[in-house]
Amino acid sequence: MTFGYGRVEIVAALINYTTLIVIGFYLIYEGGMRMIDPPEVMGWTVVILGGIALVVDTLTAILTYSMQKGSVNIRALFLHNLSDALASVAVIVGGSLIILYDMRWVDPAITIGIAIYILYLSFTEIGGPIRTLMLGSPPDIDNEAVVEAMRKVEGVADVHHVHLWQMQEHEAALDCHVVVATEGWSKIEEIKSAIKKRLKEEFGISHSSLEFEHEDRAHQNADLYGHGNASEKEKTNVQGNAERA
C-alpha cells in the first residue's frame, strides 16, 4: 500500500451512500405494498419508539455536525443521522395521526416520503466519493489555471500529459511532462523548484511528479491531459532525434 490508507474514508463514504440508496428503494417498495394492503399499526408503540429514536438520532447528528465539513465520510454519517432524525419526527407525527384519526395509510406514505428524501441526499452526495475513486481532478482546482501557471515559469516552453487527481480528500496530486526551452535546460533543478513552489502556494498541490523533455526532442502533438501519445511517425522522429543527439 505505497499510497497508504488515506482513501479508506472515501471508500467508507461510498459504502455508506450506496447502503442508503439500497435502503431508500427498499422503503419505497415496502411503502407501496403497505399502501395496497395497510397493516394494523399500534399508534402508541410507533410514537414511543419514534421518540426514543429521535433523541438518539438528534444527539448523534449534533456530535457529527462539527466534524462533517472536514471529512466526506463523517459528512455521510451526519446526513445518515440527520435523515434518521427527520424520519423519527415523521414517524411520531404519523403515529399521532393513527391514534387520533385511525389514518393507517399515513404510515406507508411517511415511509415513502422518507425514502425519497434519503435517495435525494444520497444521489446528491455520492458523486464526490465516486469522482475521487475514479481519479477525477479535484473539483475545487481550475485545471486550466494550473497549466497556465506552470507554463509561465521561466524556462518552461510547454507542458503536456497532465494528470490531476486527489490522493486523499484534502490532498491533491499532479504529474506531467514539462517541455524545457533550450536556454533553460541547464537550469532544470531551478525550474523544477519554481514549478513545485508555485503549485504548492497557488493551488495547494503538495505532491507533484515532473518529467522533463528538451524542446528539440519533445513529444509532438501530445495530448494536454491524460497519457495520449503522438503518432507512430512522430515517435520515430523523436527517437531518431534523440539518437542523433
Residue 245 has what pLDDT? 38
Given this model, what pLDDT does residue 237 score?
42
Domains annotated for the chain, with CATH where assigned, are 8-133 (1.20.1510.10), 143-244 (3.30.70.1350)
* Residue spans of the chain under pLDDT 50: 230-245
Tell me the DSSP string of the chain: -TTTTTTHHHHHHHHHHHHHHHHHHHHHHHHHHHHHSPPP--HHHHHHHHHHHHHHHHHHHHHHHTTGGG-HHHHHHHHHHHHHHHHHHHHHHHHHHHHHH--TTHHHHHHHHHHHHHHHHHHHHTHHHHHHHTTPPPTTS-HHHHHHHHHTSTTEEEEEEEEEEEEETTEEEEEEEEEEPGGGGGGHHHHHHHHHHHHHHHH---EEEEEEEETTSPPSS--SBTT----HHHHHHHHHHHHH-
- Specify the pLDDT at position 44: 87
Quote the pLDDT of residue 106: 84
Q: Could you report the per-residue pLDDT of 65-78, keeping only the tens digit for each?
A: 877 777 887 888 88
* Whole-number pLDDT of residue 208: 95
| pLDDT at residue 235 in the model | 44
